[in-house]
Structures are given as structure tokens and as C-alpha cells.
Amino acid sequence: MSEPKKKQLRTIDAPFVVLGPSGVAVRDRLKHLTDVDDKVLRLVGEHLGRLASLDLKNRCADGLDHNSDTWAARKQGLTADSSSRWAGSITKATHDQWALSRRCQLAHIQGLEAGVRTLMHRLSQPIGEKGTKRAPGGYRSRGEWFNKSRRLTTLEHRLDVARAEREAGVVHVARGGRRLLNNRHNLEAAQLTAEQWRERWEAERWFLAADGESGKRFGNETIRVTPDGEVSIKLPAPLAHLANSKHGRYVLATRVQFQHRGAEWRDRIQDNRAVAYRIHLDVERGRWYLTASWTRPVVQTIPLPTARSEGMVGVDTNADHFAAYRLDRHGNPVGDPKRFFYDLSGSADHRDAQVRHAISRLLHWADRCGAKAIGLENLDFAAEKSREKHGRRKRFRQLISGIPTGKLKARLVSMASEHGLSIVAVDPAYTSMWGDQHWKKPLTSKKRKMSRHDAAGIAIGRRALGHPIRRRTAPPPQHQSDAAGHRTAQAGPGPRGREGTRPPVTERAHDARSRTGTQRTRETSASNTVRDARSSGSWQQMSLLDTVQERLRQLSSSTCPRR
């Protein structure tokens, strides 16, 4: 009879400290704008937006044949209708948009490939075949098998088209956003009128962004903001007649004050270091905003042992809350679990505010705990977005897509750096399963309610600290023979690649004696168990009785006369 195959666990990646933020962006509202200011901003945004659309069209037409000469020709053509600096900002934004579209195209191809592989595997299985945790089984009925075979043909066609477009350098870009573009055909579902949609569409296609330039006055010559908050714009050549200041500039009748990072921004522009600005209109609120952004030098992260010195806060990310647990540097849970809830329904601004508020509460709690680092799963569901991965589990697919992995990473890293906290990313493999197995039941009491997510937070924290997730290894066997192997006790320190049980002992005492050739002289000791102690006493009593009877027989034989 062949031995059953042991379950192979995938290799677990080592934890690492996440790099700090590389850029800063702050925003302030342009208040008390006059009607003339509003008109000038709309005219400039519309004119530059038209130039940006034409430049993006030309860039997409170049495809993979783009080079520095075509770039210079496009920039020279834009300079005549704007200025050299406006032309540079437009071409740079065009290149960034084209590169982003190429990355999205590659992600789309990878998603199609994953869906095709899953469909081919399930179609090759017998109908009704049950799946495993690692591979899905067959389809439930012949009707479902037929529909999925048609879907496989559709996905294969889409994959061939996407691959051909990528090889040819063709991308599809909609300035203003494809979602807003599609809303034009579903105005009732979007709760918009045709006029409201047109106003939003035109505002999203405007272009009012200027890159900074170090060494120039206040770090930007196109959109200039002085330390006291005065905002002036270099007008394009066709709109130069609208200038109200020298050198073709228009000064807005408003002042900006960046409350957040205002001192850092002021120090930067006083040193004439580059600061990029963007002016945009919030059509729904009817407000103009100015966003300032600049890059930071690469921040050197602290070493991993330093981040672990004061313990860790393990955080499990879920679709509606963060489950956090405080651990000391030895990996022991301290106190009770904490949960920070958020609601991801509603508009994008509401979801973003909910995530920021939950992260703020998490960081303040971590500061009060005295921890210096937060352990977080290195989640990336990019390969799991195909609906074929989880079959009929529509609710589970919605749950995965609802976890804000991208925004969470960006927000948490940038906000944690301001609190002096480091982020330690760990491999998410088996954290929920092993946390539930080893930590949920021992920590549950009448005063503490433990969930699977709370236990997963402990598992994440222990892995970030370099400790095994297991509290102890395999329990002792049901008997003292060697059939189940030698019992193991405390889990060994240090990270284990597969987090399995301790390897068996190969150097045993009786094996060593047989190899050295020595003879065993020590008798077997009596057992210390209660049952065996009683059994040993009864055998001693029987042995004493036999000895007495034997002595009496000897005496009787010696005293009796011979016949």
C-alpha cells in the first residue's frame, strides 16, 4: 500500500520594510474668484485641453515608432499656439498617459490569459467533478459546460486582439475618463442630464497643469504662487490679450494658504525648488482648486531588526474593517483586538474619506501602544480579477474586488511616515487559516470575543516579527511507542520557509548504542503512571507470596522423616 502524499505548501517570502513615500501633494481652494477670473480659467483650460487632445492623438498614432525627433516636432508645433513651457507640460502628460495605458493593456492581457487557463482546465474535467483547494473541478451540467465553451471562444478572440494591439503599439485612451464617457449613454442610471454631463465632460478634458522647474522664480514659471499666496498664470499666445499683469501674465484675485504642509511648501519655493501645480474645477460643487506637488528624495528605510525592536501591530485587511492586534517583540499578543470599520459604498470621495479616517484611527492607536512598525499583508489581487477564478462565487468576487488594496498601500505608507511608523510587508499565505487554527480558541474568553480576522492579525504580526505562526508544534501521540514519532513541544525560533513541524530526530539513544557496540546493562525502570504503579505493586505482592510458599516447602521437606 502506497503512502499518502504529503501536502506541499508554497514557499513563503521573507518580510521586508516598505519604502517611504516619494512625493507630496497638497490642495487648497481658490476662494473669492471674480467672474473675469472664472472666465479666464475656463478659456485657458479649454484651449490647452484641445492642444492636449491633439497631442495625445499624434502620440498614439506614432505607437512604437516614437523617438526624440517626433517628440521635438510635436513640442515645436504646440509652442506656436501656447508657449514652450506649456508645450513641455502637455507632451510630458501625454507620455505619462500613453505609458499608463500600456501598463493597463498588459494587465488586461494577463487577466484574459488567467481566464482562458481556468476555462480550459474546467472544460477538460468531467461534468460534476469536484474541485480541490488548489484547482477547480468540472462544471455542474452540460448546459453550463456549453455556455462556458462559448465564453472560452470569446475570451480567446479578445486575447488575440489584445496581443496584436500590444505588438503594434496600439492603445485606447479616452481623455476625461471612459466611465464618464459611457455615462452619456446611461444618463438615467448616472442621475445626470445632458447639460450636466456635457459640463462635467468638458471640465475633465481641460488642461491646467504645469511642471515645476528648479532654479526659476518660486519653482514654477508657468503657474507661479508666491509665499504670500498670490497666484498668477502665464497665458498662451492666443489669449495674451487677457493679461492683467506684465509679461503676458494673469493674476487671480485670490490668495491660497496651504494649511497642510504649508511650512514645507513655503521653504521649498523660497529656495526656488521645483513645485508642480494643477488647477481644476469641481463641477458638482462649483469650486476651483489648486494642487501643489513635489518629489522627495528616496527615504532610507530603517533596518528590519530596528522595526521589530518595540514589537509590532499586525493588521488584517478586510472588505469593511481593519483587524489589528498588538504584539510584543517576542510575538506574544498584548491586550484585546481592535477593529477599525469603514464603509466603501457610495461615491469615490466618500470611500476615500472612509479609508483615510480608518487609517488615521489605526495610526493613532499604534502610537498609543508604543509600537514602531505595522505588519501588513502584501496583498495584490491583480491575478485574481478574472471571474473564472472563483466560478459561481459572485459574492466572494465582489468581496475581493471591494478590498482597497491600491489605495490602502498608498495612503497607509504616506500617512504612517508622518507618524514615524514603518510598514513591514509579509507574505499573506495561510495567515487566516493558521491564525484561526492556533490563536482564535486559546484567546477566546467570556470577556474577549475573537474572530478569524483578529487571529489573522496575530499571524501577520508574528510573521512580521520573524516568529512562526504556530504556538506549538504537533501534540503528543496517543501512546508512548515510536509509531507516531517523538513528541515535539515548543515551536522553534526563527522564520521557517514552510512553517512545518520540527524535523524528526535522527540520533537516538538506542541507535547510538547499537552503532558503538556496547551492551545494555541498565534494567527497565518502573513506570511513573498511576495505572502502571498499581500493576507493579500487585506483581511485587505475587512475587513475595511465591517466595514464602517456596520457603515453606523447603522447610517441610527438611523436617519430615524419611520413609
pLDDT beyond 70 at 192: yes
**The pLDDT of residue 553:** 67
Please tell me which residue, 393 or 85, carries the higher pLDDT value. 85
Record the cell numbers describing residue 13, joined without a space. Answer: 517570502
* Average pLDDT value for residue range 285-293: 95
**The pLDDT of residue 549:** 63
Nearest to residue 457, comparing CAs of 353, 302, 323?
A: 323
CB 413 within 8 A of CB 437: no
Q: Reduce the DSSP state of residue 201 to 3 states and report it.
A: helix
Integer Cα distance of 8 and 500 in angstroms: 10
pLDDT beyond 60 at 160: yes
pLDDT beyond 50 at 333: yes
CB 287 within 8 A of CB 281: yes
CB 273 within 8 A of CB 292: no
Integer Cα distance of 397 and 379 in angstroms: 15
Output the CA–CA distances (angstroms, integers) from residue 311 to 377, 466, 496, 497, in the order listed. 17, 11, 19, 22
**The pLDDT of residue 12:** 86
Output the CA–CA distances (angstroms, integers) from residue 16 to 27, 61, 191, 302, 376, in the order listed. 32, 42, 46, 10, 10
pLDDT-derived band at 380 (thresholds 50, 70, 90) equals low
**The pLDDT of residue 414:** 83
At 397-443, the pLDDT tens digits run: 666 666 666 677 778 888 888 888 999 999 988 898 999 989 998 89
CA angle 383, 387, 390 (to 5 degrees): 85
Output the CA–CA distances (angstroms, integers) from residue 206 to 86, 150, 201, 297, in the order listed. 13, 43, 9, 31
Integer Cα distance of 385 and 392 in angstroms: 14
Q: Which domains does the chain have, with CATH numbers?
A: 16-295 (no CATH), 304-465 (3.30.420.10)
**The pLDDT of residue 260:** 87
Burial of 288 (0-12, 13-18, 19+ CB in 10 A): buried
At 479-499, the pLDDT tens digits run: 655 555 554 555 555 555 544
Could you say which DSSP state residue 466 is in? T
pLDDT beyond 50 at 300: yes
**The pLDDT of residue 387:** 56
**The pLDDT of residue 533:** 43
* Average pLDDT value for residue range 340-354: 82
- Cell 511650512 appears where? 263
Integer Cα distance of 139 and 142 in angstroms: 8
At 209-247, the pLDDT tens digits run: 999 899 999 999 999 999 999 999 999 999 999 999 998
Mean of the per-residue pLDDT values of the chain: 82
**The pLDDT of residue 317:** 86
Integer Cα distance of 122 and 136 in angstroms: 7
**The pLDDT of residue 221:** 93
Q: Percent of the chain having pLDDT more than 70?
A: 76
CB 464 within 8 A of CB 470: no
